[in-house]
Amino acid sequence: MQITKLEEGISAPKSNIKVFTKEELQQEFDFILAEKIVRKMAKKGLISDDELHKISEKNRLIFSPYLSEIYK
């Protein structure tokens, strides 16, 4: 943890918080929804595990979720 002493006349350092646009949030939501549908299809035996992974990969490319690396 980093502690910064603030002195008079000096402003606080900027944080590295990602601010999402409305479109980016919609893409995240659409990706999560698409993944839930695909996983339900796999659970019901409508698609194979191989198809699940191929579709999930395409979903990551289409929706470009912010945290796409953790979805692999």
Please check the confidence at residue 2 and state whether its pLDDT lies above 80: no
Higher pLDDT: 48 or 27? It is 48
pLDDT-based confidence at residue 45 (cuts at 50, 70, 90): very high
Instruction: Report helix, strand or coil for 59.
Output: helix
Q: Which residues contact 64 (CB under 8 A, 6 or more apart)?
A: 27
pTM above 0.95, yes or no: no
Please check the confidence at residue 19 and state whether its pLDDT lies above 90: no
Q: Which residues contact 27 (CB under 8 A, 6 or more apart)?
A: 63, 64, 65
pLDDT-based confidence at residue 60 (cuts at 50, 70, 90): confident
Q: At what angle do helices 22-43 and 49-63 cross, to 10 degrees?
A: 170
Give residue for tokens 């191929």.
Answer: 54
